[in-house]
Amino acid sequence: MTDFKHDAIVRHEALIPFSRDHYVGLVQARHLIQAANADAGARRKALTDFVNAWDADIAEHFYDEERLLMQLMGTDDQQRLFDEHEQLMQFADHAFEMQHQDDPDPQIVRQIGQCLKQHIRWEERDLFTRLQKQLSATVLGKLQHKTQAIEASRNRS
């Protein structure tokens, strides 16, 4: 039997589309972290894959979180979300430049992956759990209506 570090997280339907989006980010984070220990070609590929995922999924996910969730958070969570999104946007710009380098810096590749992973883990384990507990059923219902539209628009193939 596997021993897990964390209990399974029960997610409210209103937040499930965001959690599903996080899968893409976690896959990219894992690839970046692993590529940091590999050759330059693997690092370039991981950076290119991250940039492609950023353009196809992650940037839109950030926009949706800021548009729909920011107003529902406390000030400290708002600031952290904004700061981490800003840092990851800068990393995405840097990754765009680095993907064409002969030998991308493995420490930066690892840092991008770790930052993305830590950000997603914070949202899943702390922020979303806190929002579920603090928001009323009415607010969660309104949010769910909006996130269902997001879910319908996502390419989940």
Full pLDDT tens readout for the chain, 157 residues: 456 566 667 899 999 999 999 999 999 999 999 999 999 999 999 999 999 999 999 999 999 999 999 999 999 999 999 999 999 999 999 999 999 999 999 999 999 999 999 999 999 999 999 999 999 999 999 999 999 998 888 776 6
Q: Note the pTM of the prediction, 2 decimals.
A: 0.91
What's residue 155's pLDDT?
75
Rounded (10°) angle between helices 40-53 and 75-98: 130
**What is the structure's pLDDT at 9?**
75
Per-residue pLDDT, 14 = 97
Distance CA 52, CA 25 (A): 11
pLDDT value at position 10? 83
What is the rounded distance in angstroms from the CA atom of residue 24 to the CA atom of residue 27?
A: 5
Please report which residue ranges of the chain form alpha helices under DSSP H. 16-35, 40-53, 59-68, 75-98, 106-122, 128-134, 137-153
* pLDDT for 6: 63
Q: Is 7 helix (H, G, I), strand (E, B) or coil?
A: coil
Alpha-carbon dihedral sign for residues 96, 98, 101, 103: negative
Domain residues of the chain, as ranges?
Answer: 16-148
